[in-house]
Structure 1
Amino acid sequence: MNRIISIFLFAALPYFLQAQAFNCDNDQYLLPEFAVDETPGILFGNNIGVNGQSEDLLLDIYEPSGDTSVVRPVILWGFGGSFVGGSRGQVGFLCEDYAAMGYVAIAYDYRIGFFIPSSTSTALAVLRGAHDTRAAVRWLYKSAQEGNPYRIDTNRIFLAGVSAGAVSAIHAAYLFEGDSVFDYFTPLTWNSLGGFSGLSGNDGYSEKVHGVINYSGAVGLNEWIDGDEVPMISFHDVGDNIVPYDRREVNVFGIPTGLIVSGSEVIDRRLDTLGLTHCLESYNSNSHVSYLYNSEPFERSVRFLKAVMCNRYYDCEADSIGGEITPPSTSISSANDNFVIDINQGVLFINNLSIEQIEIYDLLGKRLASCQGNSLALPAYKGVMYIRIYNGIRWESFGLNAR
């Protein structure tokens, strides 16, 4: 059977979906409206732990009790503890706060355990955290496709974390194919650990998220944040001597590691330079996450996320939501390339030799096809498909509607 295939700029689709999901002009997701139901101990993945043992990865789900929304935004919280200690229960109070606002909030495991701090061992700990965070995101897309029992809106998935949990979230959100990692890992080690996605489960599903809440986190290299990234709101103590506010060495329980990272102040400047939605709230303290139990970061964050979900400006200085952001251009192009797309006899061809990789997903985030190169046979699928193309520098995206 012949299929009619039309091309459109996929970036515009989330705005349509968001508009259908909730009213941006009321107080939804800004005020606590619900009691909270908790479902603890759900298995979402498994991997080799710090000491070589098999380790199950669990998550706890917090939902707004009595909520009748067809789908709800999701926020995943990672706990702190320098990748050595801590537990998902530590961020349960934050999940309860978000669930009371109408979110599906999730506290999840990532692998922790004792290690001798060094630049290599600490980088490995960060990678474990990022891999397990990505497995949790993939689990969300998988769950949404398998009946969506938690009524997850896969167009509104947000990562959040405290300290090491924030470091994990940042790397899961911003570290992707094309970013250079071999200052930290040998190719053999990198490949054996599963590369960018890791080996913690739920392979083949999307890892796409739509924003980050950063409580005193950091990133290895600023260059990993490029011009096509998601919004971030950050909170950080200026004198933090564990995870630096600026670019300095990170410490594990006061022990120098030799690993130099960029803290929230440097990240925020990078986001500003790239013209990405961002906000940084700094605290004049020498503590680490001194503000954790204050209401201000939570209240700012929910306003920030509401602005992101509604495609509106967020005024960081005034802590207020502004008018609508102009939708992106409807041309399929990047800063460096123009892509002419041809579909002939079921094969997608992009006549630009810089294209190194093509991926195709359905709207629930399941990967339908992928290849290395600039042509790919389209899957036998009817409906909207999400196409991602990589030109060696950055990812671009558009949509195909096959019927």
Structure 2
Amino acid sequence: MPYLDKVYDVAFTPDVTYGVGGVGYVAGQGPARYRDLKLDVYRPLSDDKVLRPALILAFGGAFHRGTKGAEVFEGENPSTAMADYCREFARRGYVCFSIDYRLMQEAPDPGVTPFLLPGQPQNTDRIDFVRNILGLPPCTPQMMADTLEAATDDMTKAVNFVRNRSQAYGVDVTRIVCGGFSAGAGIALNSAFAERAPVAAVVALSGRIAGPTMDVHLTDGATAPAALLFHSEHDLPVILGGIAEMRDHFNRVGIANRFVHVADADHFYRRTATVQRADGKASDVETAMAEFLYDTLRLAGTVTAAA
């Protein structure tokens, strides 16, 4: 069955430009230059003419490492790269996009659509851990804020790019989903809820949205996208510490949500990692994603047969 089962071969188109972003930014002077922002496209091979749901994913890497094609992980059980999720969900029938976005080392321009409050505190534990690995000094609060604003803008640009070219890619604009892992999950949440990118749902693999951001921007769930949020048993403290706050806030304002616990895993886990379904039965991360999207996007009957 399309969208639940893997019934398609996949066509791959790399390095499509979806926008530009300023880098080499200096406050009061602006960016030194602009660079192209790229994405890779994964499409199911099919002769049918139906418009399909889209999945736009952003890699993790503490805003310092990773690319749209590969990610950098520590530990014995590295996570599945967003490129691999794109490939697997294209096999199910989704049009998938793995995006590049600006990183902290580039000194990205934060843009003119701020969603953070002035001076809003930011947790930088993971960022500084990775900066130490890379031989860099700790980041400043302004560096963190600028990077988060810029990366979130990039996700929003990607969503708008897909919408504007929906006919070319065969995308149903009412069924666009954004998501990602870790830093990528965070920018997807901020894009969907704070910048109000026009998406139907967001999938966050070990990501969070900060309390002050929720208080300002998540006030009415009536028109908000649905959210699927994964966290692992031994996830980063900043992730585990935000679960109850996010769940309580989403429920209070009426945002449709599903929180999924990944057992016996740290911050990094594969798409095949074991999770528990709401009915108590065992499943895995990828299947939980597929079932959530199938239900949330109301995909039953939208494709009658595979090519």
TM-score, normalisation: structure 2 = 0.72
Counterpart for residue 280 of structure 1: 259
User: Identity over the aligned pairs, expressed in percent?
Assistant: 24
Residues 1:60 and 1:264: Cα distance change in structure 2 (over 3 Å) = farther
Letter of the 2:298 counterpart: C
Counterpart for residue 35 of structure 1: 9
**Cα deviation, residue 155, structure 1:** 0.7
Alignment of 1:42-57 (within 5 A): 42-49=16-23, 52-57=32-37
The aligned length equals 238
Residues 1:108 and 1:176: Cα distance change in structure 2 (over 3 Å) = closer
Unaligned runs of 5+ in 1: 1-26, 178-206, 247-262, 313-403
Measure, in 2, the Cα distance between the counterparts of 1:113 and 1:48.
Answer: 12
Which has the larger Rg? Answer: 1
Counterpart for residue 235 of structure 2: 240
Letter of the 1:32 counterpart: K
Measure, in 1, the Cα distance between the counterparts of 2:149 and 2:272.
Answer: 28
**Cα deviation, residue 293, structure 1:** 5.1
Alignment of 1:282-297 (within 5 A): 282-284=261-263, 287-292=266-271, 294=273, 296-297=284-285
Counterpart for residue 205 of structure 2: 215
* 1:98 counterpart = 2:72: no
Letter of the 2:37 counterpart: L
Cα root mean square deviation, aligned:
2.2
Contact 1:34 1:67 in 2 (8 A): no
Residues 1:311 and 1:104: Cα distance change in structure 2 (over 3 Å) = closer
SS in 1 for 2:165: helix
As a proportion of its length, which structure holds more strand? Answer: 1
As a proportion of its length, which structure holds more helix? Answer: 2
Measure, in 2, the Cα distance between the counterparts of 1:113 and 1:121.
Answer: 7
Alignment of 1:13-162 (within 5 A): 27-49=1-23, 52-90=32-70, 91-114=82-105, 116-144=138-166, 148-162=167-181
Letter of the 2:5 counterpart: L
Runs of 4+ in 1 over 6 A off after TM superposition: none
Letter of the 2:228 counterpart: I
Unaligned runs of 5+ in 2: 26-31, 71-81, 108-137, 275-283, 301-307
Measure, in 2, the Cα distance between the counterparts of 1:37 and 1:285.
Answer: 35
Letter of the 2:296 counterpart: V
Letter of the 1:41 counterpart: D
Contact 1:77 1:106 in 2 (8 A): yes
**Cα deviation, residue 70, structure 1:** 2.1
What is the aligned counterpart of 1:302 among 284, 290, 294? 290
Letter of the 2:69 counterpart: G
Measure, in 2, the Cα distance between the counterparts of 1:67 and 1:168.
Answer: 34
Residues 1:238 and 1:225: Cα distance change in structure 2 (over 3 Å) = farther
Residues 1:85 and 1:54: Cα distance change in structure 2 (over 3 Å) = same
Letter of the 1:226 counterpart: T
